[in-house]
Amino acid sequence: MAESALTPEIVELLRRSSTATMTSVLARYGLRNTFLLGVRPLTPGQRMVGVAFTLRYIPAREDLDHTGTVDNLTDPQRLAVERIGPGEVLVIDARGDVRAGVLGAILATRIKMRGGAGIVTDGAFRDTPAIATLGLPAYCRAAHAAANKTVHHPVDFQVPIACGGVAVYPGDVLVGDDEGVVVIPRHLATTVAREAAEQEDLEAFLWEKVRQGASIVGVYPPDERTLAEYRARRAALSS
Amino acid sequence: MAESALTPEIVELLRRSSTATMTSVLARYGLRNTFLLGVRPLTPGQRMVGVAFTLRYIPAREDLDHTGTVDNLTDPQRLAVERIGPGEVLVIDARGDVRAGVLGAILATRIKMRGGAGIVTDGAFRDTPAIATLGLPAYCRAAHAAANKTVHHPVDFQVPIACGGVAVYPGDVLVGDDEGVVVIPRHLATTVAREAAEQEDLEAFLWEKVRQGASIVGVYPPDERTLAEYRARRAALSS
Amino acid sequence: MAESALTPEIVELLRRSSTATMTSVLARYGLRNTFLLGVRPLTPGQRMVGVAFTLRYIPAREDLDHTGTVDNLTDPQRLAVERIGPGEVLVIDARGDVRAGVLGAILATRIKMRGGAGIVTDGAFRDTPAIATLGLPAYCRAAHAAANKTVHHPVDFQVPIACGGVAVYPGDVLVGDDEGVVVIPRHLATTVAREAAEQEDLEAFLWEKVRQGASIVGVYPPDERTLAEYRARRAALSS
Amino acid sequence: MAESALTPEIVELLRRSSTATMTSVLARYGLRNTFLLGVRPLTPGQRMVGVAFTLRYIPAREDLDHTGTVDNLTDPQRLAVERIGPGEVLVIDARGDVRAGVLGAILATRIKMRGGAGIVTDGAFRDTPAIATLGLPAYCRAAHAAANKTVHHPVDFQVPIACGGVAVYPGDVLVGDDEGVVVIPRHLATTVAREAAEQEDLEAFLWEKVRQGASIVGVYPPDERTLAEYRARRAALSS
Amino acid sequence: MAESALTPEIVELLRRSSTATMTSVLARYGLRNTFLLGVRPLTPGQRMVGVAFTLRYIPAREDLDHTGTVDNLTDPQRLAVERIGPGEVLVIDARGDVRAGVLGAILATRIKMRGGAGIVTDGAFRDTPAIATLGLPAYCRAAHAAANKTVHHPVDFQVPIACGGVAVYPGDVLVGDDEGVVVIPRHLATTVAREAAEQEDLEAFLWEKVRQGASIVGVYPPDERTLAEYRARRAALSS
Amino acid sequence: MAESALTPEIVELLRRSSTATMTSVLARYGLRNTFLLGVRPLTPGQRMVGVAFTLRYIPAREDLDHTGTVDNLTDPQRLAVERIGPGEVLVIDARGDVRAGVLGAILATRIKMRGGAGIVTDGAFRDTPAIATLGLPAYCRAAHAAANKTVHHPVDFQVPIACGGVAVYPGDVLVGDDEGVVVIPRHLATTVAREAAEQEDLEAFLWEKVRQGASIVGVYPPDERTLAEYRARRAALSS
């Protein structure tokens, strides 16, 4: 997919803004359901920016999935792991079912080695104590020790999926911080990156005023006087 | 799909057994998760036997789905409705989300006119008072007046899906009674039809004994003496 | 409240359309969360049209609510019941908590005697077997035998509330059928009544075509040819 | 258990009062959690009065429960069924887990033949279409076709259990109507039966007044004047 | 509200006891539902003591809430923030709905600058990584990036509300530790503060005995001998 | 119970493997439901290995449980605490109900003093800030300040129970790490300990290869060449 790579500038802009700000920018474009519900960082303190590589699970069926074997050349989970490219995030639709892990530490390591930018699911990971040591951003609803085929059947990848109640299309941009993960439709990625950075700059200014004791009235949201002050400050800084 | 049609004999056998019996037969083959959880008949008193035609929904995205328009030539829901063939059951993966209907009365009517054998979802139908009058078996988790695109996006059809916590593959056989819906993997349909009919015949005999006052000891499950009595009765009837 | 009464014409129009149709009309005006989630008719086969009279419950506190006494002159539940006017629907915000009934048969009877048009809650009613005999439309999430103060505290009435995940403002119009209850903001009541009636008329025509074997293509949604045919039929009928 | 039998008079009194009234009487004695949450009649229109015979399930373990065999002489479920006596109600603690039935039609029939007064669970029954024809009061949270050992393991009987969030001790009295099931501690059964009958008599009088147009003020709850009127009426009737 | 301020002595006493102890003291007064269910500290290691300033949300309606604007002079959320006084805790009834944040970092900062003692909700906060740095005790059920009006509508403040399944009246005292938040009815605040401090003192003594190897028999709960020993120790310490 | 003690060698082996690995080994023996759902470590960074001592709770009844007294000589919770032996883990079936704690810091301390290896529940603990300081592994679904009898009634101990959706029999082996708790049927404890240690050794080797850049193909699962390499490495290390 040619569009798979984000420019380093956009990645950098997205890395600097919070998911809260991006959610607000997306709401301006009419998109109000963009944050994965119930999906939390396994290890706080990391930032994730990447392009969605989707993987879809359905419920396991005993004759297909409880065989105790897995074939790396046909199993969609394994194929997906070996196709993840640099800057991509593996997003797994687990139907919110946390009764088994969707992925463990060895596969997570492989994703990291391939340059993957993170792993995300609305299910559970397994081997979470080990995954937490990898330095790979990981977001999930829970931890569960059981292997994926206990309750899941990986069925296909790079199709549109549901994750945490949000639609994720292959190629969408996923950004994660300690609050969680926001999904940015691919065609809006550049716009959101730029507008979020601008909004963060303005809000940093407003926040500073509030920290210094200003009322929110006239400040948050800013009135014309506050905006003028902000523009003056910004002009002064950039001159 | 050549395998789409079930023989009339198998359909008839499946129609005569209860979903409880079929679930037991499937358990003998190691399949214990075959009954759709929380999916109930909209109108009791009907039997459904048909071949799964699957349709998959993901969460709606406002720019794609809140447009107020629908194109019958590209929308997967509409394409699915116009491809349903005689004896097929439309099964919709709604991720258990009942905050909108997945289908209303006009589409349900069209499915019936095309010879469809039923409609099933783990979401909600809309226009349920009207659907209830159609004579088309309909199974769902709830009723909701809102149109599907309020929260759903039809994304593809005839792919393996989840419904009510069970895997449904296109071509699987769905049987419904007042208890709910059982999913029979296609390759087991004939086996299940025959063994279920046999088990029902035996259990009718056992049930009759219990109704006449027999203890369950020696009868349910039957011991050798009871089985011999059953075989004798059956031989007498068929001679 | 002067606006409390709906004209008989509007009531009649609202009584003739389904909640599914009204939900669609409201979506045209950008309102997509108007149908009470999980709230079902206690007794199918009734229609409800009325103006919202709201009542709000919070959790009970033992010293205030487990006293075994109730004062009709100060208890907000009792005050509300004795203020309900003709054509009004008592809507109770029970926070979705079904661990006690919000109202029983005697109060429901009193509401009916005062001309009330129905009772609605996202909690449970008690005495449901008796309420079901009253001929008063009643919508709830469950039945529970316990009296309201076991877990609820009636706190105020005629304030905006939540019910079934939807905002209900005093004076809003509530319409119920066998599918459930839709909330129509007061200022849209006339518009929705008229547009819903028109849409029902068109859809009856389209449905009839589908029942006669028409494909949905060109019919649902209708293309220009189908719309022309509809208009001609309608003109013929009204001439 | 000597206390197992209720006198016919008490059974008759309990049969005439509603679960709502009994719940109120129990609240007077400080017991506010007596109604089984989410447990509904399989077939409306029946009354159940009986003494609790408890049966406890824990989660199944594959090596113990997925064997496909059941031994009537050691399986606690089977032992319980063959010990139920006249006027007893089998109450099954299924931990609210509805992913399999706890009991099917043949065992339900056997319970009926033994004089059992009903079956109750906070799980699901299987064969519900058949159970519904037996004339045996049955209360459950859901229907599920799978056999009990799919997810349950019957472990012991006649021990105190949880059912629908309520404690049930062997020997407690269970009363069911179309609203659901109330649990009356055994030592309170006579008291509740008598006080409930009295309260029902009074409330029938009050309800009649409200049906004739009386305000609830002074009537519900009744003031001294209304109580005097009630006593006079009652005296007149019994003289 | 004249009663708004707690005396420094009471604040100090409340700060030293655990919410577990206070919950026990409240149970002695018959109040057993005083701890907010599912509401957790955003940042462990803080203590919160303050007076409840309540704010109530209902579901958003698109025409009222998806406008992208907020008016600090009329919006109840903003009015509440600018009215919070020293020692007050903003408690927001979000109906347990965590699909959007109820408040972000700038408003939380403003509350802190006004002397607020904490923020509490049964919904989610947004900007949680930033809020976690403020040093303002914050308790919530979840984090969510979306702004409040995505799903909430602030409707009024300083009315009785529900939060985490508990009634909160304006002026009630809220105490938080790493376990969560307890609600103390205002008229019991002094009593609870004193009795909790006494109970903590006794339990520290008992705990020490258990740490040194004592059996709980005779110690927890303490028998007369242990109580005498405790009183002697205490007398020795205070003499 | 003679079988109560595990040999130090087995304890040591179990301590070294992850719950994820043990879950996989158990699945080889057909046991796929062995990990407690939703039960999390109160304090990460600890390992727990011990023998299950079970305790069962049912719902409280006000007349039995809201008395404010507890008798260490008859209360099953207290009896259990004083019977816990070295190397045992107290496992409490709280029916998943987190509306009160099942145990507080003083009892947890007593368990530790008696040599207990941990405490586990599918409910909540109370005094969690204090329990977290004890160095006793503790696993629960939540924290709640209320005392157990607010909603629970301890009813018996050393009977088979449900915990986190898994069957726990007295004498089963419980192993906990930061992911959660796995239940090993007693007769499989030695087998699982040995096979898990072997699998961990192999997986450490495979993980290292993946960390060094190997594809998972041929490595995870290992093909014959990789297995030969592993055996050679192991032989070299042990020679």
Q: Kindly indicate the confidence band of residue C1, based on its pLDDT and cuts at 50, 70 and 90.
A: very low
Determine whether B5 is exposed, middle or buried from the number of CB atoms within 10 Å of its CB (0-12, 13-18, 19+): middle
In this predicted structure, the answer to whether residue A5 has a pLDDT above a threshold of 80 is no
Pick the range with the lowest mean pLDDT from A3-12, A66-75, B102-111, C115-124. Answer: A3-12
Q: What is the pLDDT of residue B65?
A: 96
| Contact call for A58 and B153, based on CB within 8 A | no
Span D163-168, mean pLDDT?
A: 98
Question: Interface of chain E against chain A, CB under 8 Å?
Answer: 66, 68-70, 72-73, 78, 81-82, 98-99, 101, 104-107, 109-110, 113, 126-130, 132, 142-147, 150
Number of CB pairs, chain A paired with chain F, less than 8 A apart: 86
Percent helix / strand / coil, chain B, rounded to 5: 35, 25, 40
Its ipTM equals 0.96
pLDDT digits (tens, 9 = 90+) for E24-61: 999 999 999 999 999 999 999 999 999 999 999 999 99
Q: Is C139 left (phi over 0), alpha (psi -120 to 50) or beta?
A: beta
Determine whether B156 is exposed, middle or buried from the number of CB atoms within 10 Å of its CB (0-12, 13-18, 19+): middle
Q: What is the pLDDT of residue E3?
A: 54
**Which amino acid is located at F36 in the chain?**
L
Report the alpha-carbon distance of residue B18 to residue C25 in Å, rounded.
42
Q: Kindly indicate the confidence band of residue A4, based on its pLDDT and cuts at 50, 70 and 90.
A: low
Q: What is the largest CA-CA distance in chain E?
A: 69
H-only helix segments in chain F:
8-16, 19-28, 62-65, 76-81, 105-113, 128-131, 189-211, 224-238
Q: Determine the residue of chain F that is closest to E29 in CA distance.
A: F68
* Helix, coil or strand: residue A28: helix
Distance of CA F66 to the CA centre of its chain: 31
| Contact call for D182 and C145, based on CB within 8 A | yes
In this predicted structure, the answer to whether residue D7 has a pLDDT above a threshold of 50 is yes
Domains in chain F (CATH in brackets) are: 2-186 (3.50.30.40), 192-238 (no CATH)
Span E134-142, mean pLDDT?
A: 98
| Contact call for E127 and A20, based on CB within 8 A | yes
Kindly give the pairing relationship between strand C166-168 and strand E124-125. Answer: unpaired
Question: Interface of chain F against chain E, CB under 8 Å?
Answer: 66, 68-70, 72-73, 78, 81-82, 98-99, 101, 104-107, 109-110, 113, 126-130, 132, 142-147, 150
- Residues of chain A contacting residue B167, judged by C-beta atoms under 8 Å apart: 58-61, 153
- Residues of chain C contacting residue E60, judged by C-beta atoms under 8 Å apart: 33, 167
The continuous run of DSSP H or E covering A162 comes out as strand A161-163
Q: Determine the residue of chain E that is closest to F147 in CA distance.
A: E24
In this predicted structure, the answer to whether residue F4 has a pLDDT above a threshold of 80 is no
b/e A108-140 (16+ beta carbons within 10 angstroms → b): bbbbbbbebbbbbbbbbbbbbbbbbebebbbbb
Report the alpha-carbon distance of residue C233 to residue C230 in Å, rounded.
5
pLDDT digits (tens, 9 = 90+) for F52-92: 999 999 999 999 999 988 999 999 999 999 999 999 999 99
pLDDT digits (tens, 9 = 90+) for B109-135: 999 999 999 999 999 999 999 999 999
E strands, D61-207, where? 88-93, 118-121, 124-125, 138-140, 142-143, 152-157, 161-163, 166-168, 173-177, 180-184
| Contact call for B143 and C40, based on CB within 8 A | yes
B93 neighbors B57 (Cβ within 8 angstroms): yes
Q: Determine the residue of chain D that is closest to F67 in CA distance.
A: D30
Q: What is the largest CA-CA distance in chain C?
A: 69
**Does the CA dihedral C132-C137-C140-C145 come out positive or negative?**
negative
Structure tokens at C98: 């079904």
H-only helix segments in chain B:
8-16, 19-28, 62-65, 76-81, 105-113, 128-131, 189-211, 224-238
Report the alpha-carbon distance of residue D76 to residue D117 in Å, rounded.
20
Q: What is the pLDDT of residue F142?
A: 98
C-alpha count within 13 angstroms, C-beta hemisphere, residue B110: 24
| Contact call for C109 and D207, based on CB within 8 A | yes
| Contact call for C59 and E155, based on CB within 8 A | no
The continuous run of DSSP H or E covering A198 comes out as helix A189-211
Q: Kindly indicate the confidence band of residue D93, based on its pLDDT and cuts at 50, 70 and 90.
A: very high
E168-to-C101, E11, E42, F47 alpha-carbon distances in Å: 21, 19, 20, 40
| Contact call for F29 and D63, based on CB within 8 A | yes
- Residues of chain A contacting residue E108, judged by C-beta atoms under 8 Å apart: none
Q: Could you give the percent of chain F with pLDDT greater than 90?
A: 96
The 8-class DSSP code of residue F140 comes to E
Considering only CA atoms, which of B53, F222, B156, B60 is closest in space to residue A156? B156
E strands, B136-205, where? 138-140, 142-143, 152-157, 161-163, 166-168, 173-177, 180-184
- CB-nearest to D109 from B28, B179, B211 is B211
pLDDT digits (tens, 9 = 90+) for C100-144: 999 999 999 999 999 999 999 999 999 999 999 999 999 999 999
Q: What is the pLDDT of residue A2?
A: 41
F8 cis-preceded (ω within 30 degrees of 0): no
Q: What is the pLDDT of residue B209?
A: 97
- Residues of chain C contacting residue B99, judged by C-beta atoms under 8 Å apart: 37
pLDDT digits (tens, 9 = 90+) for D78-91: 999 999 999 999 99
Distance of CA C237 to the CA centre of its chain: 33
Q: Kindly indicate the confidence band of residue A50, based on its pLDDT and cuts at 50, 70 and 90.
A: very high
- Residues of chain C contacting residue B143, judged by C-beta atoms under 8 Å apart: 40, 178-180
- In this complex, which chains have at least 3 CB pairs below 8 Å with chain E? A, C, F
* Helix, coil or strand: residue D127: coil
Q: Determine the residue of chain D that is closest to B34 in CA distance.
A: D146
Distance between E167 CA and the closest CA of chain C, angstroms: 5
pLDDT digits (tens, 9 = 90+) for D67-78: 988 999 999 999
- Residues of chain C contacting residue E59, judged by C-beta atoms under 8 Å apart: 33, 162, 165-167
Span B4-25, mean pLDDT?
A: 93
C217 neighbors C56 (Cβ within 8 angstroms): no
Angle (CA) E227-E230-E231 rounded to 5° is: 90
Q: Residues 6 or more apart from C110 whose CB is under 8 A from it?
A: C81, C82, D210, D215, D216, D220
- Residues of chain F contacting residue E215, judged by C-beta atoms under 8 Å apart: 82, 110
**Which amino acid is located at A205 in the chain?**
F
Distance between E160 CA and the closest CA of chain C, angstroms: 7
Q: What is the pLDDT of residue D238?
A: 82
Q: What is the pLDDT of residue D69?
A: 87
B11-to-B118, B185, C210, D145, E91 alpha-carbon distances in Å: 14, 15, 27, 19, 60
Instruction: For E76, list phi and psi in degrees, rounded to 5.
Output: -60, -35
| Contact call for B179 and D110, based on CB within 8 A | no
Kindly give the pairing relationship between strand E124-125 and strand D124-125. Answer: unpaired
In this predicted structure, the answer to whether residue C148 has a pLDDT above a threshold of 80 is yes
pLDDT digits (tens, 9 = 90+) for C165-180: 999 999 999 999 999 9
| Contact call for A179 and E143, based on CB within 8 A | yes
B116 neighbors B21 (Cβ within 8 angstroms): no
Question: Interface of chain C against chain D, CB under 8 Å?
Answer: 66, 68-70, 72-73, 78, 81-82, 98-99, 101, 104-107, 109-110, 113, 126-130, 132, 142-147, 150
Distance of CA B109 to the CA centre of its chain: 18
Q: What is the pLDDT of residue A239?
A: 76
Distance between C170 CA and the closest CA of chain B, angstroms: 22
- Residues of chain B contacting residue D146, judged by C-beta atoms under 8 Å apart: 20, 23, 27, 32, 34-35
E strands, C4-111, where? 40-41, 48-59, 88-93
Q: Is D99 left (phi over 0), alpha (psi -120 to 50) or beta?
A: alpha
Report the alpha-carbon distance of residue D133 to residue F99 in Å, rounded.
39
F101 neighbors F147 (Cβ within 8 angstroms): yes
A145-to-A56, F36, F38, F182 alpha-carbon distances in Å: 20, 9, 11, 8
* Helix, coil or strand: residue F168: strand
Q: What is the dihedral of CA E31, E33, E39, E43, to 10 degrees?
A: 20
**Which amino acid is located at F98 in the chain?**
V
The length of chain C, given as a count of residues:
239
- Residues of chain D contacting residue C145, judged by C-beta atoms under 8 Å apart: 18-20, 22-23, 35, 179-180, 182
Distance of CA F175 to the CA centre of its chain: 4
Number of CB pairs, chain C paired with chain D, less than 8 A apart: 86
Report the alpha-carbon distance of residue C97 to residue C124 in Å, rounded.
8
- Residues of chain B contacting residue C17, judged by C-beta atoms under 8 Å apart: none
Report the alpha-carbon distance of residue C91 to residue C182 in Å, rounded.
12
C160 neighbors C186 (Cβ within 8 angstroms): no
In this predicted structure, the answer to whether residue F6 has a pLDDT above a threshold of 80 is yes
Structure tokens at A87: 């800057």
- Residues of chain F contacting residue A70, judged by C-beta atoms under 8 Å apart: 221
Tell me the angle at which helices E105-113 and A189-211 cross, rounded to the nearest 10 degrees: 0
| Contact call for C146 and D210, based on CB within 8 A | no
Kindly tell me whether chain A and chain F come into contact, counting contact as 3+ Cβ pairs under 8 Å: yes
A180 neighbors E124 (Cβ within 8 angstroms): no
D221 cis-preceded (ω within 30 degrees of 0): yes
Considering only CA atoms, which of E71, E91, E78, E62 is closest in space to residue E149? E62
Kindly tell me whether chain F and chain B come into contact, counting contact as 3+ Cβ pairs under 8 Å: no
The 8-class DSSP code of residue C197 comes to H
Report the mean per-residue pLDDT for chain D: 96
pLDDT digits (tens, 9 = 90+) for A182-228: 999 999 999 999 999 999 999 999 999 999 999 999 999 999 999 99
Q: What is the pLDDT of residue B4?
A: 56
Pick the range with the lowest mean pLDDT from C70-74, E121-125, F99-103, F224-228. Answer: C70-74
C-alpha count within 13 angstroms, C-beta hemisphere, residue A134: 29
B213-to-A159, B221, E122 alpha-carbon distances in Å: 58, 15, 56
- CB-nearest to D129 from B178, B203, B221 is B178
